[in-house]
Amino acid sequence: MKVRILATPPDPATGEKQPAGIRIEDLPKGSTRQRIPVQALEQHQQTGHVTIEADRFVYHTVDGDVVFHIRQEPGRYCLTCGERLPDFGGNGRALEARRAQQCIDHVAAHGDKAVKSPDWPHGYENRPSTFTCEVEDLRGK
């Protein structure tokens, strides 16, 4: 998607501009899905025009609200059954390898029905800081 952070006219003395709202100029065309990285959310929050709720993000744009319903929290998911795969606590390279092996074992349990893709050759996806959302466009409504 494409977002524009609008600005006030430049201050005549300093030339400085201030944020003046937010506009969503483009939403996905081939899908109602949008992945929202935490980094982008934090950047847009700085304008004060994004509300974060338990199950959705609402962009209060100058043209009306655009709601992003959270369909998938950050984490690891099986491509075959959609199950969120468990995480071991803590950090560390050895733990990370163990997590990956547990995911591979989970996918293997699906046998011939296991779904894999070129991007996800092991049959699970891992997006640790991205929300997968369904877009509801309420602008003009």
Partner 1 sequence: MADLILNEALGRSLTLIQNVEDNSPAAAVLRLHLWVISATDATLRDVTDGNVDDFEAITNVAEASNSGYANQSMDETDIVITVDDANDRVDVVFSDQTFTAVVAGDNPTDMTLSYDADGSDTDTTTKVLVVWDFSVTPNGGDIVADFPATAAFRVNQG
Residues found near partner 1 in the complex (CB under 8 A) = 1-8, 17-20, 25-26, 28-31, 33-37, 39-40, 42-44, 76, 93-94, 96-101, 103-104, 118-122, 124-130
The two structure tokens encoding residue 4:
């524009």
Tell me which H or E stretch contains 44: helix 38-45
Residue 20 or residue 138: which is nearer to partner 1 going by CB? 20
As measured in angstroms, the least distance from the Cβ of 97 to partner 1 is 4
As measured in angstroms, the least distance from the Cβ of 140 to partner 1 is 21
Strand partners, 49: none
As measured in angstroms, the least distance from the Cβ of 9 to partner 1 is 10
Distance CA 112, CA 114 (A): 6
Distance CA 104, CA 110 (A): 10
As measured in angstroms, the least distance from the Cβ of 53 to partner 1 is 19
Residue 51 or residue 98: which is nearer to partner 1 going by CB? 98
Residue 2 or residue 113: which is nearer to partner 1 going by CB? 2
Dihedral of the CA atoms 116, 119, 122, 126 (nearest 10)? Answer: -110
**Main-chain phi, psi angles of 19, to 5 degrees:** -60, 140
Which residue, among 16, 37, 27, 17, has the nearest Cα to 132 in the 3D structure?
37
Residue 25 or residue 73: which is nearer to partner 1 going by CB? 25
